Structure 1
């Protein structure tokens, strides 16, 4: 796997591929609104035309649009990144695991 990753150019590796939690919420809401809106419009248009295929075409178009708008990690979905805590450095003298520490205390 490392060999394949080494073949990828740096310009492609630098593309951000993450989305924050608020962005995920916004993308999910956008996806649902588009699908419901296109489904409703497709149903009405299909009823007027008496063609179920018209309903499906409109619904598929809405699905494609929503995928284009919500699947890539656009900058509008990366506005509020999480602030992680700093890594806590453990002392080098104590290398026992927590389970070993508990067994030592019991003795």
Structure 2
């Protein structure tokens, strides 16, 4: 069975969001300028769509550059050491009185 990573770490998510905003803004500005120069708004839209597609390909999949700093989770406590729930604590307090 394939072992495909499906997660990003928090810093990777921030990096992906920043990269997508830069790409879309850059393509939008270039598209707006090019569309103004040739007087075709449709060219602006096409260039912007190309930027969105490029940003999607580069930032939506969990590429290895977005998984460089994974979180180190704590190990679970054994069953006997878990903290009692609020209802169990109240019941034990009533029994003591």
1:1-107 to 2 correspondences below 5 Å: 10-11=1-2, 14-91=3-80, 97-106=85-94, 107=97
Task: Give structure 1 regions of 4+ aligned residues with deviation exceeding 6 angstroms.
Answer: none
Aligned length: 94
- List gaps (5 residues or longer) in structure 2: none
Matched residues in 2 for 1:97 and 1:24: separation?
Answer: 34
Deviation by residue 1:51-72 (Cα, 9 ceiling, x = unmatched): 1100000000000000000000
RMSD over aligned Cα, in angstroms? 1.7
Q: 3-state DSSP class of the match of 1:58?
A: helix
CA distance in structure 2 between the aligned counterparts of 1:100 and 1:91, rounded to whole angstroms: 14
